[in-house]
Amino acid sequence: MPRPRYPRIVLKLSGECLAGPGGEPVDPRHLENIVQQIREIARLKVQLAIVIGGGNIWRGARGSSIDRTTGDYMGMLATVINGMALQDALEKIGVMTRVQTAIEMHQVAEHFIRRRAIRHLEKGRCVIFVAGTGNPYFSTDTCAALRASEINADVILKATRVDGVYDSDPEKNPRAKKFDHITYLEALKRRLKVMDSTAFSLCMDNHIPIIVFDMLKKGNLKKVVMGSKIGTLVSD
């Protein structure tokens, strides 16, 4: 049996990956597709940590009277809801998980402790990081870069609705050019909306590659973990 290329990974899931076409926050079909793909790589003995967003529930306070800091904390709580939904779905199909939160809420999840998270991974448990970094003004992309650095992950897998990084929005521009590989600096200079600049900088400083791929296509997650050239690689 071929061995996985990446023994320890951080999977960055956007909240929109869970959302349904009719605007429902969690679509059972999308959730089922995601957890089945996660189970596939769990069987490969890959150490998997997940950072999940909350955009399917709360998109922030822009354009509203809500203070930015308050809105960011509301977004953190939305990621907790998504993390609990993902944990429930994973454990129903036999994937043991732990949810760790950057904001203490003992009745819901463990508080994030780096050494405990690594120990869970070593025991074969999937760890879901929620509530971002616990600080306003930092996105869940930055959280993914931070947690990947803390647990010494081999790669960040950025799951999206498109099959890689383009020079413009492929959903709006049919002539958009896809990159098979792009450097951190080029992505920053082009201001590509894949991750924010803080996340890119953290990955660049700690030499953590990012692979952007389409999670909605069944089997893609396993292919990426096994080393198939899918999506776009962002690296040095």
Q: State the residue for tokens 């950025």.
A: 158
Q: Kindly state the tokens that stand for 104.
A: 């203490």
Q: What is the mean pLDDT of residues 52-59?
A: 89
> What six digits make up the tokens of 95?
């994937």
Mean pLDDT (whole number) for 155-182: 88
pLDDT, position 80: 96
Residue-level pLDDT at 62: 64
What pLDDT does residue 102 have?
A: 97
**Which single residue is written with the structure tokens 């960040």?**
156
Tokens of 131: 């509530």
> Where are the chain's structural domains?
8-235
Helices 140-150 and 197-206: angle between axes, nearest 10 degrees: 10
Lowest mean pLDDT among 72-81, 133-142, 159-168: 159-168
What is the CATH T-level fold of the domain 8-235, as seen in this structure?
Carbamate kinase (3.40.1160)
What is d(CA 197, CA 202) in angstroms, rounded to the nearest whole number?
9
